[in-house]
Amino acid sequence: MRPADIQTIGDELAIKWDDGRESFVKLEKLRRHCPCAGCKGEMDIMGNLYKNPDKPLTPDAFRLTRLAMVGGYAVQPLWADGHGTGLFAFDYLRQVADSE
């Protein structure tokens, strides 16, 4: 599954999937599900999770300034606070979109 079209509409990311389904994801939800190592942490070979301390997010953290396609498998949002290291693989993006 891949997005056929992605657009920012207000405070949501509107996604039309190639299977005909449509998703609307609040930008705040998208940012809070950022999969980058700085946000979600990363594991060493022993299974220990290393994560940056949580920091408060400003309103700019939820304002999308750009959304870049990465190859044929992911999108990379750039947020107004400068954060832009999260790659949302299409299957993960769909999972976030479908979650409560």
Confidence of residue 53 (pLDDT cuts 50, 70, 90): confident
Instruction: Please state, in angstroms and rounded to a whole number, the distance separating the CA atoms of residues 54 and 56.
Output: 7
* pLDDT value at residue 72: 94
Confidence of residue 1 (pLDDT cuts 50, 70, 90): confident
pTM over the 0.95 mark: no
CA-closest candidate to residue 75, choices 40, 35, 20, 32: 35
Question: How many domains, in total, are found in the chain?
Answer: 1
Instruction: Please state, in angstroms and rounded to a whole number, the distance separating the CA atoms of residues 44 and 58.
Output: 30
Tokens of 50: 């290393």
Domain that holds residue 58: 3-98
Tens of pLDDT, residues 3-23? 999 999 999 999 999 999 999
- CATH number of the domain that 18 lies in? 3.30.2020.30
Side chain identity at residue 20, one-letter code: G
Q: Strands, DSSP E only, in the chain?
A: 3-9, 12-17, 22-26, 42-43, 49-50, 64-70, 74-79, 88-89
Tens of pLDDT, residues 59-96? 999 999 999 999 999 999 999 999 999 999 999 999 99
